[in-house]
Amino acid sequence: MTVTIGRRELLVALGGAVAAWPLAARAQSNNRVRLVGGLFGLAETDSEAQARVAAFRHELAELGWVDGNKIRFEFRFFGSDANAGRTFATELTKLAPDAIWTQAVTALDAIWRATRTIPVVFINVADPVGSGFVASLSRPGGNITGFTNFEYAIGGKWLQTLKDIAPGVTRVAIMHSPETKAYAAFLPEIERVAPSLGIRTTAAGVHDDAAEIERVITAHGREPGAGLIVLPHPITTMYRKLIIELTSKHRLPAIYPYRYFAAEGGLISYGVDGLHLSRQAASYVDRILNGAKPADLPVQQPTKFELVINLKTAKVLGLTIPPIVLTRATRVIK
């Protein structure tokens, strides 16, 4: 039996098929497993690194991106080894992920040098505009967006808080990485505020070297009225256990940039919650996987900071925390 189809019927049938093709293509695209890369200036075994990864993955699962079903991850950790960071950045970009999540300016810099097309969401970068990663906070303009952790003016707040908690401090060493300009940029603000508090400051640059860190803290700890500000950097995070032990040994009041320093025995910390930033990063990755462009997602600045005080450490150092400081604390470790 032969069925004859007229020209009108044929055009209608073809039109329906053509209209269905984009829908089928979109369905296939939406059903494919997405790949999200990650590059972190922390060690893979670091408890804080694992907590941030867990928070990020959990938030994405809550948004419908179930690991192994709709999404899979390729994460790389390089600690303070910048060369390894650049190698891992190249590896990740060759995998052509749908998005890349980075932590710390060293990680973002490595990815930025490796790709200008793959969408990137960062956290823990103080000045993405000044570092050249984005055109502006409100309009990033390229393939990068994310969440900052500090403005450089917080350096003065760290110094004031240290003075509040340890009034006898008159000399403060500022531990930083001289090789990373973005981190060293906190120094001018600290130095600007210091004279009004009767404090002399010293820039204490350290590298990926435990012996050097020990020499710096030991030498400064011998000075009368000594205190310490530990600036954010993969090096200070990686060696935080050593730094905390040495400041306790030399009875050196110190302030740190993140909660986990105080939670692990540091005297006091003032900064943003890295787990909260990780969840925020997941929300941006979700929007990118659903079609948003990084250029259209504004870089967001933190609106909430944590002041954490370790009373056990204060007691060891012979310090009594003023009531006014205690009332400002978001967490007190007893």
Co-location of 229 and 261 in the same domain: yes
Q: Which token pair is 58? A: 């959990």
pTM attached to this predicted model? 0.88
The answer to whether residue 198 is domain-embedded is: yes
Q: Which token pair is 298? A: 């504004």
How many angstroms separate the CA atoms of 299 and 287, rounded?
Answer: 14
User: How distant, in Å, are the alpha carbons of 53, 97, 174, 243, 273 from that of 212?
Assistant: 30, 39, 14, 11, 29
pLDDT, one tens digit per residue, over 187-203 is 999 999 999 999 999 99
Co-location of 131 and 184 in the same domain: no
The answer to whether residue 10 is domain-embedded is: no
Beta bridge partners of 65: none
Confidence of residue 183 (pLDDT cuts 50, 70, 90): confident
How many structural domains is the chain composed of?
2
Q: Which residues contact 165 (CB under 8 A, 6 or more apart)?
A: 253, 255, 267, 268, 309, 314, 319, 321, 322, 325
Q: Is 155 strand, coil or helix?
A: helix
Tell me, what amino acid is at 86? R
Co-location of 141 and 160 in the same domain: no
Co-location of 181 and 311 in the same domain: yes
Co-location of 145 and 246 in the same domain: no
- List the domain range (segments joined by +) for residue 68: 34-149+274-296
pLDDT, one tens digit per residue, over 211-233 is 999 999 999 999 999 999 999 99
Co-location of 175 and 316 in the same domain: yes
Report whether 141 contacts 135 (CB < 8 A). Answer: yes
Report whether 262 contacts 243 (CB < 8 A). Answer: no
pLDDT, one tens digit per residue, over 115-154 is 999 999 999 999 999 999 999 999 999 999 999 999 999 9
Report whether 272 contacts 150 (CB < 8 A). Answer: yes
